[in-house]
Amino acid sequence: MILQETFKLSNGVEIPKLGLGTWFIDDDKVADAVKEAVKIGYRHIDTAQAYQNERGVGEGVRNAGVKREDLFVQNKLAAEIKSYDEAVKAIDESLEKMGLEYFDLMIIHSPKPWQDFLGDEKFFEGNLEAWRALEDAYKAGKLKAIGVSNFEQEDLQNLIDNGTVKPMVNQILAHISNVPTELIKFCEDNDILVEAYSPIGHGELFKNEEVKAMADKYNVSVPQLGIRFDLQLGLLPLPKTANPDHMKNNAELDFEISDADMETLKNMKKIEDYGEASMFPVYAK
């Protein structure tokens, strides 16, 4: 059963192969979502400072009815934080807000502040500052593992060349029709696990007739197909939902996509418009 399986990070920490994303789940509703997910068998919960639901996620984790060490909680340092002191403060504030002594993983949410995401400025120095704060928190035991999100090869290389701890994870947009193959290979070559957010293309895959036909062929839902696709690429999917039925369905993955169908799904026409989500920089690039 996928919920009991793990990947091993480069530092030996085990990370559950399927996570629950909590983006867009309100702070006052997310504790219940976390508790339901844990009841179903999820052990990996993903949040971010930017989601404004850390308090609720922390409440859900603390009241989930399982030991803290049996859960894997990951958080993200706000994309705007590009100085050491601010990052140190933000890490401690998040731990306090969530009522937790440590995070299993903390990652830099983006190499660039969101308002500059599509600009030319690289923020290499600022990323090294934020990274140094994560390294220090990791060495102090506040973080069991550290990584990044939305980082391209040059952003990763900057940390690999100039940091003291190599990133263990890169969380990126990767789904049927949108597979950044070169970036994934670079991460694999550097022992960096790739997490895949929006495995259902922020809902856009529901509109794709070819994807629906492929799901029907395997007698599964579109989300199941999308999540299984990411897993077969060696990625860790983070489907987001507050609905217990969807959580359950997302984890029922005991089927295998054939090699030929994987190629078809990889090479489908890329989503050009993510609808309302196109206002978010990661879907606009």
Q: DSSP characters for 48-86?
A: -GGGT-HHHHHHHHHTSSS-GGGSEEEEEE-TT--SHHH
Instruction: Answer yes or no: is 163 within a domain.
Output: yes
Banded pLDDT at 285 (limits 50, 70, 90) = low
- How far is CA 54 from each of CA 12, 48, 57, 60, 93, rounded to the nearest angstrom? 26, 7, 5, 10, 10
- Residue pair 86/127 in contact (Cβ under 8 Å)? The answer is no
Cross-strand bridge partners of residue 103: 143
| Within-domain flag for 3 | no
Residue 75 lies in a domain: yes
**Domain annotation covers residue 70:** yes
Whether 267 is covered by a domain: the verdict is yes
Tell me the residue range of the domain where 174 lies. 10-284
Residue 110 inside a domain? The answer is: yes
Residue 155 is assigned to a structural domain of this protein: yes
pTM: 0.97
HEC states along 174-185? CECCECCHHHHH
Is residue 51 annotated as part of the catalytic site, yes or no? yes
Residue-level length of the chain? 285
Q: Which residues contact 173 (CB under 8 A, 6 or more apart)?
A: 150, 180, 196, 197, 198, 282, 283
- Of all residues in the chain, the percent with pLDDT exceeding 70 is 100
Give the residue from 206, 208, 199, 240 showing the smallest Cα distance to 221. Answer: 206
What CATH number has the domain bearing residue 83?
3.20.20.100
Taking only the tens place, the pLDDT of each residue in 227-255 is: 999 999 999 999 999 999 999 999 999 99
Q: Does residue 5 lie within any of the structural domains? A: no
The pLDDT value recorded for residue 281 is: 87
pLDDT surpassing 90 at residue 36 = yes
- Structure tokens given for 278: 């196109």
pLDDT band at 105 (very low <50, low <70, confident <90, very high): very high
The whole-angstrom separation of Cα 126 and Cα 41 is: 38
Task: Tell me which of 51, 138, 197, 283 is the catalytic residue.
Answer: 51
Tell me which DSSP letter residue 208 carries. Answer: -
CB neighbour list of residue 67: distance below 8 Å, 6 or more residues apart: none
Domain count across the chain? 1
